[in-house]
Amino acid sequence: MLIDIGPLLRGEVSKIDIDYKLRADSIGGIEFSEDAHVKGSLTDNAGYMRLSLSADIPYTTECARCLAPVSGVFSLDFERTVANEGVLTEEQLEEGVDEYVVVSSNELDVDEQLREEILLCFPQKILCSDDCPGLCPKCGKPKREGACGCPEKEIDPRLAVLKNFFNDEK
C-alpha cells in the first residue's frame, strides 16, 4: 500500500491512520486463508515520523509432530522510524537496518517490509498442542489416538549379537 506522506511532511496533519488488507504469500506449507488485516498509524513527533502497524493473519498448516491440521491467527507488531533519503548516514543505516524505513518521495510503501517481517517472525514449527506426542516412528499412527502395539524399545540389529555376549561366558 502506498501512503501519501505529503500532508505529514508539510505539517498539515500530525497523524495518518492506516487500515487495509495485505495479500500474504504462502510460506513453505503454510497457507494464509485470508488477507492480513493491517491497522496502525504514521505520526509526526517533533520532526521525526514513526510508523506503528499491527497485522493479524489467519493461517492453516499441519502440526509439525503429528501432521494434524492446525489453524490460527498470527499477530505481528511492526514499528519503524521513517526517514527521508539522505538524512541518515550509511553507518546509521547499517547499524539500524531494522529500525528505519527510508523514503525518497512523498509516498511510503510498507507492503514489502511487512511481508519480510512476516517471513522472519512467523514460527518455524507450529504444533496442534504444546504436549503433542507426535507419530509412532514404526507405523506412523498418531500417538494421541492411543497405543498402536509397536514395541517401545527395539534393539538395533547391528548390535543384537552383543546381547548374548556375556551369557556365553557363564
Q: What is the mean pLDDT of the chain?
A: 84
Q: Quick one: what percent of the chain has pLDDT higher than 90?
A: 35
- DSSP annotation of 21 reads E
pLDDT band at 150 (very low <50, low <70, confident <90, very high): confident
Check pLDDT > 80 for residue 115.
yes
- The total of other beta-carbon atoms located within 10 Å of residue 64's CB is 16
- Residue 21 has a pLDDT of 94
Lowest model confidence (mean pLDDT) among 14-23, 54-63, 95-104, 123-132: 95-104
From residue 71, give the alpha-carbon distance in Å to each of 28, 47, 132, 138: 15, 43, 15, 28
Decide: 37 and 56 in contact? Cβ < 8 Å. yes
E strand or H helix at 52: strand 48-62
Check pLDDT > 70 for residue 50.
yes
- Residue 52 has a pLDDT of 93
pTM above 0.75, yes or no: no
Check pLDDT > 80 for residue 103.
no
How far apart are alpha carbons 73 and 76 in whole angstroms? Answer: 10
E strand or H helix at 80: strand 69-84
Q: Quick one: what percent of the chain has pLDDT higher than 70?
A: 88
- Residue 95 has a pLDDT of 65
Cell numbers that stand for 30 in this block: 503454510
pLDDT band at 2 (very low <50, low <70, confident <90, very high): confident
